[in-house]
Amino acid sequence: MILSRRKFVHIAAGATALTSLPGIAHAADYPTRPIHLLVGFPAGSGPDIIARIAGHWLSTRLGRDIIVDDRPGAGGNIATELAAKAAPDGYNLLLAVSANAINATLYGHLNFDFAHDFVGAGLIAMTPFVVVANPNFEAKNLSELIALAKSKPAGAINMATSGVGSGSHISGELLQMMTGIKLTHVPYRANYVPDLLAGQIMLAVSPLPQVLEFIKQGKLRGLGVTTPARSQMLPDVPAIGEVVKGYDASGWFGVVAPKGTPADIIARLNTEISAGVNDPDTKKRLVGVGAEPRAMSSADFNKFIAGEIEKFGKVIKFANIKPL
């Protein structure tokens, strides 16, 4: 990613503002002031909504305000760079998402290394994508889709997604890589659901919340969710992994801190994040916005992130995906 001088100055100024906050914290009295939670996407987006749900319970449990700071742009990379350069004191956190793992390979020239510049504080939730079809599409399930795609000329079936390099795009490319089928990618900048409902496109890989009600109403047909197991929001739709062994391309949300943040502060954050994720009211709020709550230790979250970067990196290289 090449940044203009103006954008670079803006980022540098933001990073200076964050790192200039007073002194490094001691875990014994942490936190003593408000905590900034950076989000790389605009207000009202999925990550922003998850950050505000998480911020509410963390504020309650930590006894300090959690300031959700939206810094959208460059696919989340602007906020991620700000967080990477921030003081490692527990007061500057990032709402990390699956796009961060994708961007680690998708963008060739970043001013940070997501794999090494952060430590995981805790996972919050997973978000399924779903392979969804117009009811008139020939294939009625995933096995039929794979067989149909193999029987037709390569690329004869279109696959709509949320855009080049998006989670839905990578999920669709992983399916092709693991099955040997070839679909024609149709990236949308706007909402593709009207075209899918009208039959102008027959197949899409979509965030589940975007099409959930249409599937329940029978206006669209779910062929498979991308999580390892079936989604509690759509239990009658099989997981892709039931047909394609080992398939997993979930979206996810978690909290990470700059590398060097004291281990005892990370442990405290993980305790409170996990408690929030397991709280019945919070679970209900997360499920209500299409996210499936999932707690994870810091060590396991770090391993998970490394695995996601490796997995998505292979898909990006296999499909030769380039950022727009």
pTM beyond 0.85: yes
Q: Quick one: pLDDT at residue 27? A: 66
Q: What is the pLDDT of residue 192?
A: 94
pLDDT-derived band at 130, boundaries 50, 70, 90: very high
Looking at the structure, tell me whether residues 146 and 66 fall in a common domain: no
Q: Among 181, 214, 242, where does a domain finish?
A: 242
Q: How many domains does one find in the chain? A: 2
Tokens 């103006």, residue located: 6
Please report which residue ranges of the chain form alpha helices under DSSP H. 5-19, 46-62, 77-85, 98-106, 142-151, 167-179, 193-198, 208-216, 263-277, 280-288, 298-319
Last residue of a domain, one of 217, 242, 267: 242
Note the pLDDT of residue 28: 75
pLDDT interval class at 190 (50, 70, 90): confident
Expressed as residue numbers, the domain containing 287 is: 5-127+250-319
Let me know whether 162 and 301 are in one domain.
Answer: no
Residues 122 and 269 occupy one common structural domain: yes
Residues 9 and 54 in one domain: yes
Tens-place pLDDT, residues 274-318: 999 999 999 999 999 889 999 999 999 999 999 999 999 999 999
Output 323 or 38, whichever has higher pLDDT.
38
Model confidence at 176: pLDDT above 90: yes
Both 12 and 81 in a single domain?
yes
Nearest to 312 by CA among 259, 251, 242, 257: 251
Do 256 and 236 lie in one domain? The reply is no
Secondary structure of residue 76 in the 3-state scheme: helix
pLDDT band at 7 (very low <50, low <70, confident <90, very high): very low
Q: Do 105 and 138 reside in the same domain of the chain? A: no
Whether 206 and 230 map to the same domain: the answer is: yes
